[in-house]
Structure 1
């Protein structure tokens, strides 16, 4: 039977933070950015039925359905077995615009400085990314993310951050953003408790096949944590360097390093390694320990731009449309807001 080719887009180097789940990315490789963090696929659903090896994440596509309120957000995830190449699994998730996990405004429109200072403030409120504390009483009502997150638009936040508007309005908008980020951090902690830090797939903690009992488990766990931190940092640095190089090749200018972002990411990576040691799949444990050849835990990560590369080149000459993901998402939000204010 002849295979039919479908063109989903083309690959571009992207900053790894642009591909986080709250930006609803389309991407190839890396770790899956789960949209619904409370209903992850079961581990057995990701095992190849031929060779019994866990599958590898291939790509995900953000594909919302126009005119369907229940599918305002929709994404597809594709996994495949890299050993035998005979098994593929496709998962779908969708949710409305108003949902308990994400704010109703696109976080991609928040200025980077405001986003990361708010992220650090949300982290300080929780005392630790790994040890949240629930607010009580008036504090809980004031910081309720369900109500605060839907009361503000990113353009208002960015505008207020520039110095206009009342002090009370700016404080309320900043509070809404911090509450939204607290909610995201809570779900990030949930993901770390359920998934492998190397490949991002769900992991059955405590399985005999996955947990290799050794003579000095405490010493081995400490050593593995250090190796995990080194591996995760290396991945982030490689992706960031590739993105900066692409930016320099495109416009000839270098990007300013956001210190707040670097500090927040280093803290997050350390917590991933701390919590993820006993959630490593067998292949991921071997890969993290030895960076073994012949094991494929995760493919190189790229953003999947919609459209075709030829159309993008025409767009550079001023004739074609823009296919930038954040602009498309913002346009969808604005259309939804006009139809249902």
Structure 2
């Protein structure tokens, strides 16, 4: 199969779809791989490293989209890239279509086959292609929040750990999944006072067993949100509904009740965000303020640590890329229900129920579309 890896074009996005090691595995199986010039340069994956394992280096994304049967990316296609998609071409990347009707329409109209990392499921449950980026984003959320709390960022001037005689910052994490767990771990490591809210009592019990008395766990109700959010110094939005838009759990009234200089970090922004005032930002301009509350809503947080994130992502995506290349997309999807769960668009049809529901568009089961 002809596989193409374009350079990412989203603002300050330096991750790359395939590492040289991943390319080598594909080429050893008889596939051809094209990589756009300088696709991995910023994270020390030079063109020479790709050429050394047998990849063809091409100048432009247009060449890749014109020739490749399978496009392997990290972030969703940008407007210029959407225009280059061909009928029947297979796209494997993060898509986050539920809050992005414009992208969904372009993918449907292109007659392509679009498989979303974030909805591929695992044999042991969960979303294995989302996990490594959720781990990165969860840990980064505390770094970003700690920075945003500084005076020069518009924050309250609060040190997460406090000092002897001065209380530690109050960190509230909404959602106890992969993002929330990693955020809690980092915040506790920085000696903040940490509370996790979640609607799964089982998950709260697991967190209690894992972290003990250092972590405060609270069952998530509207009353609990109204009690904990306004008094927090830093709130992390870490909710996830697979494939669907994130629920708006924190309303404008709660945000208006927060203290001036408090910080919201919305890790759910890829799926539309879980705060009423969330709007996507970039790593170039990550912060804005509403009602005196600092918002950090970067939609590609792991892009800030692109080398770590690239290798972590390739560890989990490579087996699926190999399956798509070895078998062709139809057989690979029919053979593996977990990969098939990642199919969002197939030749003009929307094939993920949660995405279709949120977009208000007709849904066709993936197995029927194939």
So what's the TM-score if we normalise by structure 1?
Answer: 0.24
Q: Which has the higher contact order (CA 8 A, sep 6+)?
A: 1
Tell me which protein shows more helix as a share of its residues: 1
